[in-house]
Structure 1
Amino acid sequence: MAYNKFDIIVWGSTGFTGKLVVEYLINKYGVSKEFNWAIAGRNIDKLNAIRANFLVPNLPIVVADSNDLDSIDEMTKKAKVICTTVGPYAKLGTCLVKMCIKNGTHYCDLAGEVQWIRKIIDNYHLEAQQKKIKIVNSCGFDSIPSDVGVYYIEKQLSAKKQKLKSINMRLAGAKGGISGGTYASLSNVRIEALKDKKIFQILKNPYGLNPKGSMHGNDEKDLKKIVFDKISNNWIAPFVMASINTKIVRRSNALSNFKYGKDFLYSEATLCGKGYFGMIKAYLISFPLLILTLAKPGTFLKKILDWILPKPGQGPNKKNRETGFFNFRFYIETNEGDNKIATVTGDMDPGYGSTSKMLAECAVCLAKDNLDELGGVLTPSVAMGDFLLERLQNSAGITFKLK
């Protein structure tokens, strides 16, 4: 890739999450010949404002427009890695992926849109694989804590000559609201699914992102109701990110020659507590998810949600981001009959603070680390493995512990 100019181009730099990625890269790595990166968007005035706000007049700018394929083509020629926060990806991501593969440029995003990732896998995985280009989806709160968390657990157990049988992740705590981008993506998935019944089948299939030929197994569908969980001895409720996270974990297993095991089982849910109060909390947590389910496109309820919930580009202030957190608890069963618990925690709000750091470190990892030449539409753990695990622990405020 001798023609590449920048290590990274951050596409969507003027959006809320994009600005956080830019701020993180400036504070952590600066702008230099050793780490040569650029910000990109369609509005030159807003891009110049970012340089002024962060006091980096020498930060390069690239102007491009999602609706102008030639400009996207030119942008992807200028980078080793495109790091994009521009969604919904089903609307705005396909041509960018196509141009990245065409021009030999690695790619990472925050996509949680199962139907779009399936489309990208079907249309571009083989070409990216042949060209040794890494197309890496779901590099934020969905799905790095889950994906790299399971990767970490398997690595630790393998060192002790133990094999995984099952992992059940329970969200033990979190502080931070839903992002406007996430809500927009969920809404777009709903619209597309109502138009195409095949999308519903992909969403319902626990193995919907696996390679063709391995889209089946013993895992059940994601939890849709409250139940008492014998594994954690707590009431649990559905977890809004389970539909993407579980599929990413299973794709990682399949792409890694089933190193977690061909019969490996995985699930996700929200931990609510014990007894009567735990049951009440489970109902309270489930209620917003029920509202989202009932809010079909065009309904009055959907219009109310559109008015109440954050828009793409909106998000919490700095104080709320810095006081946020998340705590994933993994209940592990090995083939040897041992039961263990692991945790993955983040030191900022999941949807923005932690997500922006995770995505930024993925981009730096793809640009700077000595990764293998594996190409394709990959998951974070498969694409970057130990290099990403180390970066998340050392720089992104993510902790991994096996008790």
Structure 2
Amino acid sequence: MKHLRSLSIFLIATILLTQLPSATLAGPSAPEGFADSAFRQTWINADAPIAAGSAARSWTWGAQPGERRYERYDPAPNASRLVQYLDKARMEISDPADDRNSAWFVTCGLLVVEMIAGRTQVGANLFRPLAPADLPVAGDPLGNPDAPTYAQLAPLAAIDGGNRAAARLGQTVSATFGPNGVGSDLALATPATTIVAYDEVTGRNVPDVFQRFMQLQRPAFEPIFVFGRPITEPYWAQVVVAGKSVPVLFQAFERRLLTYNPANSAPWKVEMGNVGQHYVRWRYGHELHYAQPAPSSALSVRETTISLPTYDLAPALQASQPDDPIYPYDRLDPSQIGALQPRLYRAVVVENRFLTLTFLPELGGRLLQAVDRTSGRAIFYQNPV
């Protein structure tokens, strides 16, 4: 056991030290924390101009990378694939041996389909059931009672074929959707909502304001790569944004959810919903963790204190006699060990942009905790002491 613990500490420390030179690889055009250089380049192609303030549109992925995981996907090598979540979507690499120059080496997950249908995809045609996402598709996550949820969109969605709508080219969008179902408000049918495209595969109409936004992804990406196909009609909904109720046009696509808020200033009138955030909350039950910024130096070391539940050993220690094989050390009587109680320990925290390690000098330098800074998850935890 002691050998395994020492080996674990050695391996983690080796990871820290060997990764230090790579801290200089990430240029100023992209934030740090991408799980693969292909993910980073995909972000640069779409969102670096937005970060630089030179693009006339809103985010495609989000301002910074979030947590990365290996998720089950049966066709992938070892039946798992590398994914990384961002505010607006999930990037995926299903086979790292594929052509890295292919436009589809990195794919964008069908998160909206999964949240509406109530299933997570774990294979090419294999799914695990999960209750549809009872989360608002747009606006504030709380105090937003009239906003549609992903679950409520199920009867309206074209998933796995069927449920098609007739083409309505040239018409404007007055349809509304809320707690009382589908309705209509002619005052909302502005020229920006004129239907200009019809998807023959899913049988869905796309308004001008969304079609224009999707074309802005070119030449970096084809719209089908970013959005997938539309799976609902466009609807107006009363949505609470920053505490204020406003009418917002929305439409669900396989990979994304688009919103149009006429009250916003350009270029933020059309935005992609926070599908990545919503999916992580739905599937994993927590808020999206973001990659942490690099420390000011490549490796930082600081000392602090930490309170840990500790067994009271004093009553259990009994003096040994000269004829005892362990003499002059005390003998431990397990039946007399006291209850757990809090105790302060000195702690030494060592971190770089990948890991945070916490050691306890008073306990022989024991590694208490190792945290993946890109996800905020503990990958090694030993407690109580």
With the length of structure 1 as denominator, give the TM-score of the two structures: 0.24
With the length of structure 2 as denominator, give the TM-score of the two structures: 0.24
- Pick the structure with more helix per residue: 1
Which protein has the larger Cα radius of gyration, Structure 1 or Structure 2?
Answer: 2
